[in-house]
Amino acid sequence: MTVRALVVGAGPAGLMAAERLAQSGCKVTIAEKMPSPGRKFLMAGKSGLNLTKVEATSLFYQSYREAEPWLRPMLAAFGPDDVQNWARNLGQEVFTGSTGRVFPKVMKASPLLRAWLTRLDGLGVDLRKRWQLITLEGTTAVFDTPDGLRRASADVLVLALGGASWARLGSDGAWREWLPGEALFQVANAGLSVDWSHHMRPFFGQPVKGVALSAGNLTSRGEFTVSSRGLEGGGIYSVSRGVREGAPLVLDLFPDMTEDEIATRLNRTRGKASLSNHLRKVLKLDGVRRALVQEWLRPMPAVNVLAKSLKSLNVPVSGLRPMDEAISTAGGVRRDQVNDGLMLLDRPGVFVAGEMLDWEAPTGGYLLTACFATGRWAGDHAVQFAARTV
Ligand SMILES: Cc1cc2nc3c(=O)[nH]c(=O)nc-3n(C[C@H](O)[C@H](O)[C@H](O)COP(=O)(O)OP(=O)(O)OC[C@H]3O[C@@H](n4cnc5c(N)ncnc54)[C@H](O)[C@@H]3O)c2cc1C
CB of 41 within 6 A of ligand 1: the answer is: yes
Angle separating helix axes 275-283 and 287-296, nearest 10 degrees: 130
Residue 210, pLDDT score: 92
Ramachandran region, residue 116 (left: φ > 0; alpha: ψ -120 to 50; beta: rest): alpha
Ligand 1: centre distance to CA 189 (Å): 14
Homologous superfamily of domain range 4-183+329-389: FAD/NAD(P)-binding domain (3.50.50.60)
Ligand 1 atom index nearest CA of 356: 26
Ligand 1: centre distance to CA 362 (Å): 15
Question: Would you kindly state where each structural domain of the chain is located, as residue ranges?
Answer: 4-183+329-389, 192-320
pLDDT of the chain along its 390 residues, tens only? Answer: 899 999 999 999 999 999 999 999 999 999 999 999 999 999 999 999 999 999 999 999 999 999 999 999 999 999 999 999 999 999 999 999 999 999 999 999 999 999 999 999 999 999 999 999 999 998 899 999 999 999 999 999 999 999 999 999 999 999 999 997 778 999 999 999 999 999 999 999 999 999 999 999 999 998 999 999 999 999 999 999 999 999 999 999 999 999 999 999 999 988 888 888 999 999 999 999 999 999 999 888 887 799 999 999 999 999 999 999 999 999 999 999 999 999 999 999 999 999 999 999 999 999 999 999 999 999 999 999 999 998
- CA–CA distance, 103 with 51 (Å, rounded to integer): 6
- CA–CA distance, 254 with 295 (Å, rounded to integer): 17
Residue 160, pLDDT score: 98
User: φ and ψ at 14, to 5 degrees?
Assistant: -65, -40
Q: In what order do the strands lie in the sheet with 192-193?
A: 313-315, 249-252, 207-215, 218-227, 230-232, 192-193, 319-320
Q: Is the distance from CB of 129 to CB of 36 less than 8 angstroms?
A: yes
CB-based burial label for 93 (10 Å; 0-12, 13-18, 19+)? exposed
CB of 329 within 6 A of ligand 1: the answer is: no
CB of 143 within 6 A of ligand 1: the answer is: no
Residue 171, pLDDT score: 97
Cβ neighbors of 356 (< 8 A, separation 6 or more) are 9, 13, 159, 160, 161, 162, 163, 173, 175, 332, 333
Global pTM value: 0.95
In one letter, which amino acid is 73? P
Helices marked H in the chain: 12-23, 39-44, 57-62, 68-77, 80-89, 110-122, 234-244, 259-266, 275-283, 287-296, 303-311, 366-389
CB of 208 within 6 A of ligand 1: the answer is: no
Q: Which residues, listed in sequence order, are joined to residue 136 by a DSSP beta bridge?
A: 141
Output DSSP code: residue 363: S
CB of 191 within 6 A of ligand 1: the answer is: no
User: φ and ψ at 9, to 5 degrees?
Assistant: 105, 115
Ligand 1: centre distance to CA 161 (Å): 8
Ligand 1: centre distance to CA 374 (Å): 13
In a mutational test of the pocket of ligand 1, which residue from 327, 333, 358, 359 has the highest number of ligand atoms less than 8 Å from its CB?
327
Residue 95, pLDDT score: 98
Ligand 1: centre distance to CA 288 (Å): 33
C-alpha neighbours within 13 Å on the C-beta side of residue 240: 33
